[in-house]
Amino acid sequence: MSHNTFGHLFRVTTWGESHGPAIGCVVDGCPPMIPLTEADIQPWLDQRKPGGSRFVTQRKESDTARILSGVFDDGDGPVTTGTPISIMIENEDQRSKDYGEIARAYRPGHADYAYQAKYGVRDHRGGGRSSARETASRVAAGAVARKVLGEGVWIRAGVVQIGAHRIAPDQVDFDAVSGNPLFAASAEVVPAWEAYLDGIRKAGSSVGAVVALEVTGVPAGWGAPIYGKLDSELASALMSINAAKGVEIGAGFDSAGLTGEENADEMRLDLNNQPVFLSNKAGGVLGGISTGQPVTARVAFKPTSSILTMRQTVTRDGEETDLRTKGRHDPCVALRAVPVVEAMAACVLADAFLRHRAQVG
Amino acid sequence: MSHNTFGHLFRVTTWGESHGPAIGCVVDGCPPMIPLTEADIQPWLDQRKPGGSRFVTQRKESDTARILSGVFDDGDGPVTTGTPISIMIENEDQRSKDYGEIARAYRPGHADYAYQAKYGVRDHRGGGRSSARETASRVAAGAVARKVLGEGVWIRAGVVQIGAHRIAPDQVDFDAVSGNPLFAASAEVVPAWEAYLDGIRKAGSSVGAVVALEVTGVPAGWGAPIYGKLDSELASALMSINAAKGVEIGAGFDSAGLTGEENADEMRLDLNNQPVFLSNKAGGVLGGISTGQPVTARVAFKPTSSILTMRQTVTRDGEETDLRTKGRHDPCVALRAVPVVEAMAACVLADAFLRHRAQVG
Amino acid sequence: MSHNTFGHLFRVTTWGESHGPAIGCVVDGCPPMIPLTEADIQPWLDQRKPGGSRFVTQRKESDTARILSGVFDDGDGPVTTGTPISIMIENEDQRSKDYGEIARAYRPGHADYAYQAKYGVRDHRGGGRSSARETASRVAAGAVARKVLGEGVWIRAGVVQIGAHRIAPDQVDFDAVSGNPLFAASAEVVPAWEAYLDGIRKAGSSVGAVVALEVTGVPAGWGAPIYGKLDSELASALMSINAAKGVEIGAGFDSAGLTGEENADEMRLDLNNQPVFLSNKAGGVLGGISTGQPVTARVAFKPTSSILTMRQTVTRDGEETDLRTKGRHDPCVALRAVPVVEAMAACVLADAFLRHRAQVG
Amino acid sequence: MSHNTFGHLFRVTTWGESHGPAIGCVVDGCPPMIPLTEADIQPWLDQRKPGGSRFVTQRKESDTARILSGVFDDGDGPVTTGTPISIMIENEDQRSKDYGEIARAYRPGHADYAYQAKYGVRDHRGGGRSSARETASRVAAGAVARKVLGEGVWIRAGVVQIGAHRIAPDQVDFDAVSGNPLFAASAEVVPAWEAYLDGIRKAGSSVGAVVALEVTGVPAGWGAPIYGKLDSELASALMSINAAKGVEIGAGFDSAGLTGEENADEMRLDLNNQPVFLSNKAGGVLGGISTGQPVTARVAFKPTSSILTMRQTVTRDGEETDLRTKGRHDPCVALRAVPVVEAMAACVLADAFLRHRAQVG
């Protein structure tokens, strides 16, 4: 894995800055003969794109994906050819504005200081490379990964906590996610959450959240010990999403409070004499290998760092100053992370599928 | 990263099964001219080795590391030569016993079923490759990584939760860890925890735990966007440890409950006019790059799956059965994970150091 | 290294087909703060671009490189930021023509059959991904690599054999290369070679060639045993160029005919008491590590497979047929490979430089 | 690929020095359920081991391979388990001798100076890591690779040129190789070659050679464009062998002298209506992908650098001196490279097989 590439066999390289001419990705290692057009990608990008509701940034981007390579129509419709799939998304709303202040001052909670400390230079326009805009490329790649996995693997995510408001585990309903602008995994919570988030938004503040992930249809046997464990790679992929601060698999941090009796998922045979588990504390992964149960994970996101409240900071010239971050921002960055979480899971699983097929046939 | 290798430039490959003749690792990419002998490795192995107290497995292993390559003494004492360092640890206590039952039946919570489903075969003796015994190799590699990092980087970990017993964040004292057999990060909790864990142990049960990690001395600038983020790589490395079910950086899952004002670590200048942060919710990482603050993380471990209580399971021959896992086991596998957490952090950081030096000089 | 990516730290991913909308590359791992604009790239592309003389394909392409990311101007001119540099070259002359015949029949000597056998589908338009057009991306990446290496490393290549016509080793003059349309490393041979190649061209035939490479200014110590040897990586990179069939380093195949006495490059001290070699049979590499002498290599290229002469072949439908490959072709594909050889060497060396800096500081 | 590891899915990491306690390799990514014991490895090591004839070094090594992990016998004999296979070979004849001279002086033609320049230290005992002894690990790994490939893929190599003595291409007979101590690919040349090499040996000199490789049974479709080409990876692997200075595929450097008509391998249908080629100038690879024809390559080796003739050199202390390299050496290092060439080809092909299966199924 290099810095801007992830995956072993299904490999995704992304490029581009928030306010450059375009962003994009190159998906390498995709199997051939998979039908693929821009129409397979666009719906997922539309989920993530800005401007969709008052709860997300008002930046205007159509996020139109264009496939530049790797697909060929030999008469039966476009299919992948096994060669790299280059996807480009042009930036349309690089609003011209005065970046003078944030060019100098480090926005607290942002990557500004860290980039400057590392590279001695940073593209400060909208966060440059560290902008969440980069995640559009991931969503595009994830759309390709879904095609590799096929319809048997069903990947769903939704917000299960926002600030102090939580959806109880037994109330999580992924079917509700697409029906509300908060990506909430429960229809019931939406009115209260909207009111809460409106308050946050109007205050120029922001709030953190937790996104839950569930993948069904993963057969037993994917993933690989010891340093290619499925849960390890999910953790890496999900933690790489902007603002992610924690990842847990299955019972996660709650496992620490359990006894061995409570934690061990017992097994029985189903009507077809196939092994089944009677619970899923493991989150579908044991020893880094999928068990056939749903793969479940949760990702914690910190609040959007860009807030209107004045905060103390310093400048690259070594002066103390106070800064409020004006401009267009998401009051809860985790909302638009939901399709990104799904996309990253899709890419990790497509990669695990190909690697399993390689080793075991 | 391949399945049994991790790291980009400081690369560790481990091999070996619980009850084979030996286990070991090959550390590649180590800088040359670093003094290194087995005495630099052994103390860390001694921390992890079994048999040290009644709270860990009674397997008898000296865990003696032997360096087979990559070090040369040209008169001034042994130093690394820049070539691969092969380290071997012989298995001494492959106690001969009847594996008949667990050769057939899948132990709930263990990797048995997943390995069998993936490979069609598994070394069932003591868990084979999936045994926590593999982590001794990681500890050996971590000892080399510490030498690469030098004394300025200080890596410490300790148990901060065991079952329902927690150490409050402001009570965490890493200095206490080496002074008690529970690796607890507080001297005060030890008597109560010992009593609690004795109960667990005598009941033939087990319990989960949380290990906290703190690394000081990491300069600003290590790590790399986007898919080589320092926190992403820590998450991958820590989640790859046996029984790990969750990883969080800085405020972690608590971030979800914070507002932007609470979460953003404000900055000021110190007496030397250097930027300082007034808090560390970020856990020392922003945009995937170290900020110069302590790197902090927490890892959740599930309870040891091997318990004496009878559990329902199935056999590889497709029969239902009940199983209790006899033998030598840790009542809380997380205790001995403390040196492993430190070792994985050391390896990730040594790798980040070399990669930073490569790109930025 | 994945399929469409090469390099470890200075990593190049290329994408695009001969007759798709565009081709391009993503260069990852480039150090920051290096001045870089399209003007640094274009001159190298101009060397390789088609239509420059009657000895190369008459396809009309301006081969205009556009940098889409990874460069930022903070007031002192555009510099690299350490983030991925995406470079796109639009295809302008995807001449619409009847591909019916080569869509069905495999062109002898081309990759048509192999791609079809592997993938079950191929983009037959102009060779698709296997077209030498892909090498424009390499040349663009090579231009970035040259900036990383700086002016102290001087990379030159030229044609030293075309068909049966050879330039004697002691007559090779790389200064002559830019002054003639044949990229010949000797001004004297040009008239005879032009006449010879005109004959080949008019006959609708083609011919093979050998390109020599010489890199000066590489310090001692770059490269790494055992599987990252500098000569091994050069061999891989050069052999990956379209139509390459052989690579040799230093004395190469002639080494087989030498005695140990003839082959060993003896050493003495120069006026500054620095070690010097009295000959360079090794081609600047010993044990896979640079010695400080010029790095020398030679690459053999087969004749262009597209010829007007009718050849026997089969179709994907399992019929025998005869085929002549009409269209625009280079009578000697190796001529335009000269800038590609240089570019690949630049990329390999930039990568070796960064890796050496990582490990040794 | 890191420095001491090669391969993508079938990955080999080697370690160890000439005069350390042992050498070895870790083979990762091997498919499970392949019968494997030390008896599958030893015969190949026996081919390469020293002391077998007067034409190779008289060092006494049994080169006994010991499998330490990755294989398990569950009742039907030992099979691979899909986990890393660690193989160790102990060094038995680290003859204690005075290394004083070569510890100080750089042996011309050896890697001594390059290692010292790179690392600032080198294990000078017998060449340390740069010794050809390392290739025993490759041969062991190659034995595993052969098991992965199965008996359908037949890998053979032999010496076809030694000094000025060549075997004409149409006289090459790989069946003859195992019947003579020179690994010559022709029984007829053996008496003359033995006399020639005896002369070289008695003069304390050495000579170069060319080894030819032929692999039959590789199906069409293995290998991958663009930077994972089968010929590119073979070139890398073969050039990484000690003393290799050139690699060519198929017609190789002779391609430069051919016309397009001569070079293009025409196609017809065989009796089963399957495509066949009427010649094999391509060496079984087109566009980096196997064609189903035999994969053919040739590797040039320089003469052994260790000779008894006095040569000029310098010391690490900056003094000029003259040096003759006493001790046990091969008069023609290429002879024992024959099994190494085969082993590297086996590893590259096993890796290509797994990668093909991953992407295409």
What is the average per-residue pLDDT within A23-36?
Answer: 98
Collect all residues of chain C within an 8 Å Cβ-Cβ radius of residue B361.
Answer: 31, 357
* pLDDT over 90 at C17, yes or no: yes
Task: Choose the mutation target among B33, B81, B115 for the interface with D, i.e. most D CBs under 10 Å.
Answer: B81
- Predicted confidence at residue B101, as pLDDT, reads 80
pLDDT band at D37 (very low <50, low <70, confident <90, very high): very high
Query: Count of domains in chain C?
Result: 1
Binding-site residues of B sit at 48, 54, 129-131, 242-243, 287, 302-306, 328
For residue B33, give how far its alpha carbon lies from the nearest alpha carbon of chain C (Å). Answer: 9
Residue B325, pLDDT above cutoff 90: no
Confidence bin at D102 (pLDDT 50/70/90): confident
Which of the residues A107, A302, A323, A353 would you substitute to probe the B interface, choosing the one with the greatest number of B C-beta atoms within 10 Å? A302
> B4 pairs with which residues across the strands?
none
Contact C258, D207 (CB under 8 A): yes
Query: CB distance from C29 to chain B under 8 Å?
Result: yes
Residue D126's pLDDT band (boundaries 50, 70, 90)?
Answer: confident
Chain A nearest C-alpha distance from B316 (Å): 9
Report chain B residues whose CB lies below 8 A from the CB of C30: 359
User: D290 to chain B, minimum CA–CA distance in Å?
Assistant: 25
pLDDT in tens, A312-337: 999 999 999 999 887 777 899 999 99
A161 CB within 8 Å of a chain C CB: no
pLDDT at residue C5 in the model = 97
pLDDT recorded at residue B55:
85
Whether residue A2 lies within 8 A of chain D, CB to CB, comes out as no
Instruction: Tell me if C31 and B360 make a contact (CB, 8 A cut-off).
Output: yes
Calculate how close chain D gets to C25, using CA atoms only, in Å: 13
Indicate the residue of A2, A263, A267 with minimum beta-carbon distance to B106. A267
Query: Looking at the predicted structure, is the pLDDT value of residue C328 above 80?
Result: no
| pLDDT tens-place string over residues A54-67 | 888 878 889 999 99
Which domain, by its residues, includes B15?
A: 5-360
Locate the chain B residue with the closest alpha carbon to A284.
B114
Q: Which pTM was predicted?
A: 0.97
CA C300 to chain centre: 11
Query: Which letter, b or e, does each residue of D76-96 get, where b requires 16 or more Cβ atoms within 10 Å of its Cβ?
Result: eebbbbbbbbbbbbbbeebee
Model ipTM value: 0.97
> So what's the pLDDT on residue A57?
82
Q: Is A28 on the interface with C (CB under 8 A)?
A: yes
pLDDT over 90 (residue B147): yes
Mean pLDDT, range B196-223, rounded to an integer:
97
**Is pLDDT at B99 greater than 90 in this prediction?**
no
Q: Domain of A267: which CATH number?
A: 3.60.150.10
| pLDDT the model gives residue D58 | 79
Cβ separation C134–D235 shorter than 8 A:
no
Q: What distance in Å separates residue C35's CA from the closest CA in chain B? A: 15
Instruction: Among C266, C267, C299, C324, pick the best mutation site for testing chain D contact (most D Cβ within 10 A).
Output: C267
Average pLDDT, chain B: 95
Residues 319-338 of chain C with CB under 8 A from chain D are 319-320, 334
Residue of C18, C34, C69, C76 to mutate when probing chain A, most A C-beta within 10 A: C69
Residue C97 has pLDDT above 70, yes or no: no
Taking only the tens place, the pLDDT of each residue in D185-243 is 999 999 999 999 999 999 999 999 999 999 999 999 999 999 999 999 999 999 999 99
Average pLDDT over chain D, rounded to an integer: 95
Percentage of the residues of chain B whose pLDDT score is greater than 70: 98
Contact of C71 with C85, CB cutoff 8 Å? yes
| pLDDT at position B98 | 58
Helix (H) / strand (E) element for B311: namely: strand B311-314
Give the mean pLDDT of D323-341. 89
- Partner residues linked to A23 by β-bridges: A16, A89
Please give, rounded to a whole number of angstroms, the shortest distance from the CA of C360 to a CA of chain A: 20
D208, D251, D269 ranked by CB distance to C318: nearest: D269
Residues of B in contact with C361 (CB under 8 A): 31, 357
pLDDT score for B47 = 92
Label residue C186 by pLDDT band (50, 70, 90): very high
If you average pLDDT over residues A341-355, what whole number do you get?
98
What is the structure's pLDDT at D289? 98
Chain D residues close to B11, C-beta within 8 Å: 2, 5
**In A7-99, at which residue ranges do the beta strands (DSSP E only) sit?**
11-16, 22-28, 65-67, 71-73, 78-80, 85-90
- Decide if C83 and B359 are in contact by the 8 Å CB cutoff: no
Inter-chain residue contact A120 with C17, CB threshold 8 Å: no
Give the model's confidence band at C264: pLDDT under 50 very low, under 70 low, under 90 confident, else very high.
very high
Does the pLDDT value for residue C191 go beyond 80?
A: yes
Quick one: average pLDDT of B280-293?
A: 98
Q: Does the beta carbon of C313 lie under 8 angstroms from any beta carbon of chain D? A: yes
Give the pLDDT score at D96: 54
Helix, strand, coil percent values for chain A (each to nearest 5)? 30, 25, 45
pLDDT digits (tens, 9 = 90+) for A174-198: 999 999 999 999 999 999 999 999 9
Q: Which of C6-10, C263-267, C327-331 comes out lowest in average pLDDT? A: C327-331
- Predicted confidence band of residue A122 (pLDDT cuts 50, 70, 90): very high
pLDDT of residue B241: 98
Residue D311 has pLDDT above 80, yes or no: yes
> Residue written as tokens 């585990």?
A169
Over residues C237-255, the pLDDT tens digits come to: 999 999 999 999 999 999 9
Q: Half-sphere exposure of residue C183, counting CA atoms within 13 Å on the CB side? A: 29
Per-residue pLDDT tens for D250-294? 999 999 999 999 999 999 999 999 999 999 999 999 999 999 999
pLDDT band at D325 (very low <50, low <70, confident <90, very high): confident
Check if B31 contacts C (Cβ < 8 Å): yes
Question: What is the structure's pLDDT at D70?
Answer: 98
Instruction: For residue D292, give how far its alpha carbon lies from the nearest alpha carbon of chain A (Å).
Output: 20
Angle at the Cα of A113 from the Cα atoms of A112 and A118, rounded to 5 degrees: 105
* Nearest by CB: A22 against C29, C68, C70: C68
Question: How does residue C155 score in pLDDT terms, banded at 50, 70 and 90?
Answer: very high
Q: Give chain C as a 3 state SS string.
A: CCCCEECCCCEEEEEECCCCCEEEEEEECCCCCCECCHHHHHHHHHHHCCCCCCCCCCCCCCCCEEECCCEEECCCCEEECCCCEEEEEECCCCCCCCCHHHHHECCCCCCHHHHHHHHCCCCCHHHHHHCHHHHHHHHHHHHHHHHHHCCCCEEEEEEEEECCEECCHHHCCHHHHHHCCCCECCCCCHHHHHHHHHHHHHCCCCECEEEEEEEECCCCCCCECCCECHHHHHHHHHHCCCCEEEEEECCHHHHHHCEHHHHCCCEEECCCCCEEECCCCCCCEECCEECCCCEEEEEEECCCCCCCCCEEEEECCCCEEEECCCCCCCCCCCCCHHHHHHHHHHHHHHHHHHHHHHHHC
> For residue B152, what pLDDT is reported?
97
Which one has a higher pLDDT value, D87 or B324?
D87
- Among D211, D259, D315, the residue to mutate for chain C (most C Cβ within 10 A): D259
Query: Is residue D48 over pLDDT 80?
Result: yes
Position D97 scores a pLDDT of 63
Q: What is the mean pLDDT of residues C10-39?
A: 97
- Comparing CB atoms, the residue among A31, A360, A361 nearest residue D359 is A31
